[in-house]
Amino acid sequence: MSKQNRLTFFIFLALILGVGLGYYLNVKSLSTYNENITQAESAVKKIDGQILQEKDSTSTTFLNLVAERQAALKIRVDNEQIREKKLEPLTLLSDIFLRLIKMIVAPLVFTTLVVGVAKVGDIKAVGRIGGKTMLWFLSASLLSLVLGLIMVNIFKPGEAMNLPLPPDNVDTGIKKVALSMKDFISHIVPKSMTEAMATNEILQIVVFSLFFGVATAAIGEKGQIIIKFFDAVAHVILKVTGYVMNFAPFAVFGAMAAIVAKQGLGVLSTYALFIGEFYTAMLLLWVILIFIGFIILKKRVFNLVNRMKEPVLLAFSTASSEAAYPKTMLQLERFGCKDKIVSFVLPLGYSFNLDGSMLYMTFASLFIAQSYGIHLSFEQQVTMLLILMLTSKGIAGVPRASLVVIAGTIATFDIPEAGLALLIGIDPLLDMGRSATNVIGNSLATAVVSKWEGELTGPID
């Protein structure tokens, strides 16, 4: 077994063992806390329904219901904190790995992108490659959003929920983000390169790297010193990546065990319909993207998909496409994509080409509307699609980014934000599929742009 296949095998084995341990902990060690949390959540939902019946917010009955709701919430929070404490050794494994990956990603993006842009040479070439890249990204994003819109209207997963409209003051715990051009621009343009590196703001690092790379190419012979230096640094970081990746199976084991221990396998049956329909839509998106890739790359697209199994598995099991970034970059270069194209397209993709997240946003937004019996016209759905297209760009670095964007969007259409509570419990399971899809989407984008530029060579190994 080769070293690459050995790591893939251990990641897959860790995933299976993690699920097994998680299930054992769920039914044995954590069953009391999980039952208390479930009962508290049921009590909150019941009380919310009773609060809706009360017209007078100053009555004794209303105030008693509010007090009961607060008490139920406290029980839930207390039990969640105890459960988190017991699962700390497992979550620590995945936290350490993800922190190590975040440590690598920013300098890797910066060094490889500077070298890539400097090697491209003049600003016209950078603009040409950038134009082709954005053409693919926007087309893929639109395809993902439209597919999500179509599939959620076909499946109608929310209609089975048949929920009453909740009170306006229900707190979901998710801060919504409204569409603001000022915020969008300030998120793209860095005010400090060190701050962007420290906070892993990939899009801001990309902007600075583009300026730095073009300037390096413009100064001619002196720039060669910079290129050689950054090229050496990039190779050092890739070597560090190799060391970090050896820890991946432990991270996968910890992440899967923690998720199953908290959610249990029961969550799969409770939301089986929604999860199944979402993953069906996601699988269809894979088929469409690979088919488009086949039209451009011919049979080589299957070799690309085969090479991506390890990054995809890593992204799926850790629910982080960032965790798969170094491996994705390495596999694309081995596939035959030139390093200057890979280092240019892939970082941009992490802000502009999140295909899995795009599909989820329309799917989840309309699921919430359907759950409350809110009908949105065709025009409203198209408007929602366009808003999501804009608000989703450049916000990938925010924790639970998709839910944050959804919260800001559904409020525009008077859809209760409390509906996000329907998704919070299963979001980690859905995030796994989104992350894996993002890896596939960005891999195809890089290979296609390489082909369009005539920079796609034969495989290295």
For 250-276, the pLDDT digits (tens) are: 998 998 888 888 877 766 666 788 889
Residue 398's pLDDT band, with cuts at 50, 70 and 90, is very low
The answer to whether residue 118 sits within a structural domain is: yes
Contacts with 172 (C-beta within 8 Å, 6 or more apart), sequence order = 407, 417, 418, 420, 421, 424
d(CA 417, CA 407): 6
Q: Please tell me the predicted confidence (pLDDT) of residue 399.
A: 44
Domain of residue 158 covers: 3-30+87-452
Does residue 168 have a pLDDT over 70?
no
**Contact (Cβ atoms closer than 8 angstroms) between residue 352 and residue 137:** yes
Q: Please tell me the predicted confidence (pLDDT) of residue 2.
A: 62
The answer to whether residue 387 sits within a structural domain is: yes
Does residue 397 have a pLDDT over 50?
no
Average pLDDT, the chain: 85
Which structure tokens are listed for 425? 């419990």
Q: How many domains does the chain have?
A: 1
Residue 320's pLDDT band, with cuts at 50, 70 and 90, is confident
The answer to whether residue 82 sits within a structural domain is: no
Of residues 450 and 4, which shows the higher confidence score? 450
Mean pLDDT along residues 427-446:
91
Does residue 375 have a pLDDT over 70?
yes
Residue 4's pLDDT band, with cuts at 50, 70 and 90, is low
Does residue 130 have a pLDDT over 50?
yes
The answer to whether residue 349 sits within a structural domain is: yes
Determine which of 229-233, 294-298, 425-429 has the lowest per-residue pLDDT on average.
425-429
Does residue 112 have a pLDDT over 70?
yes
The answer to whether residue 141 sits within a structural domain is: yes
Residue located via tokens 């980014």: 401
Of residues 113 and 311, which shows the higher confidence score? 311
Smallest CA-to-CA distance from 80 within 116, 123, 42, 34 is with 34
**Contact (Cβ atoms closer than 8 angstroms) between residue 146 and residue 154:** no
The answer to whether residue 376 sits within a structural domain is: yes
R_g of the chain computed on alpha carbons: 23
271-282 tens-digit pLDDT: 788 889 999 999
pLDDT more than 90, % of the chain = 34
Model confidence pTM above 0.75: yes
Q: Please tell me the predicted confidence (pLDDT) of residue 146.
A: 94
The answer to whether residue 43 sits within a structural domain is: no
Does residue 325 have a pLDDT over 50?
yes
Determine which of 123-132, 288-297, 343-352, 384-393 has the lowest per-residue pLDDT on average.
384-393
The answer to whether residue 81 sits within a structural domain is: no
10-28 tens-digit pLDDT: 888 998 999 899 999 988 8
CATH code, 236? 1.10.3860.10
